[in-house]
Amino acid sequence: MTISKQRPIGVFDSGVGGLTNVRALMERLPMENIIYFGDTARVPYGTKSRATIETFAMQIVDFLLENDVKALVIACNTIAAVAGQKIRQKAGNMPVLDVISAGAQAALNTTSNNKIGIIATNTTVNSNAYARAIHAQNPDTLVRTQATPLLVPLVEEGWLDHEVTRLTVREYLKPLLVDDIDTLVLGCTHFPLLKPLIGKEAQNVALVDSAITTAEATAQALAQAGLLNTENDSPDYRFYVSDIPLRFRTIGERFLGRSMEQIEMVSLG
């Protein structure tokens, strides 16, 4: 039993953005070993078709299963939106957590006026996955989604408090604010880094950070499955990517909030 609890949690994303989830997991579950895979050679996923994303996602899951993970965390909203079901089928009894289920639940728990806004990539918005997850629990909730693709490169550029980003956010949020949302889901790995700026542009709106809510859901799922690692003072963190682009470490460390010691390159498919 102890041995199986020592197995790592597998976290994956289309690229570097999922490190926001790793950061939240490290804070919430400091004794867990973690393996991260970021598909940096094929990012972005947010503009790709469902079929392509499904194929890529299954390759990543195979890699993580070969590495003997005890649970899977789908950190990428786009993967969760289009391939979540397939991944669960493949994983069998293993706990599978994803940012959309956790984010939708947190939004429902947060809203008072039952009006929720979602900002995400084009593919996530087109999949309607957030609205489906919310309406499955409360069909009367007003869900307004807004594709915000420009925010991904702005975050990667590090323009977290830049005038260009502020104006872009302001423009994107206009229709959501007109609809009087009181809760906004940051439905993309990159957006937790924009919390301070979005908070200023959407005053009196509660922000749902799916990285934090997913870490909480992971803690609960592991506890339920008897898989929580409670005896590990020096957790092992391994980072795998399909490419190491220029500035990867700088951007990655910004997302992670600490230095990345081991980064290894593997090619999938």
Query: Least separation, in Å, of the C-beta of 253 and ligand DGL?
Result: 17
Does 78 appear as a known binding residue? yes
Query: Least separation, in Å, of the C-beta of 84 and ligand DGL?
Result: 12
In angstroms, rounded to a whole number, what is the distance separating the alpha carbons of residues 226 and 205? 37
Does 13 appear as a known binding residue? yes
- Note if 188 is an active site residue: yes
Q: Which is nearer to ligand DGL, 45 or 240 (CB)?
A: 45
Does 20 appear as a known binding residue? no
Is residue 89 within 8 Å of 246, Cβ to Cβ? no
- Note if 168 is an active site residue: no
Query: Least separation, in Å, of the C-beta of 76 and ligand DGL?
Result: 4
Catalytic residue selected from 71, 79, 151, 188: 188
Does 161 appear as a known binding residue? no
List interacting residues with ligand DGL (CB under 6 A). Answer: 13-15, 17, 43-46, 76-78, 121, 124, 152, 188-190
Residues making up the binding site: 13-14, 45-46, 77-78, 189-190
**Catalytic annotation, residues:** 76, 188
Residues making up the binding site for substrate: 13-14, 45-46, 77-78, 189-190
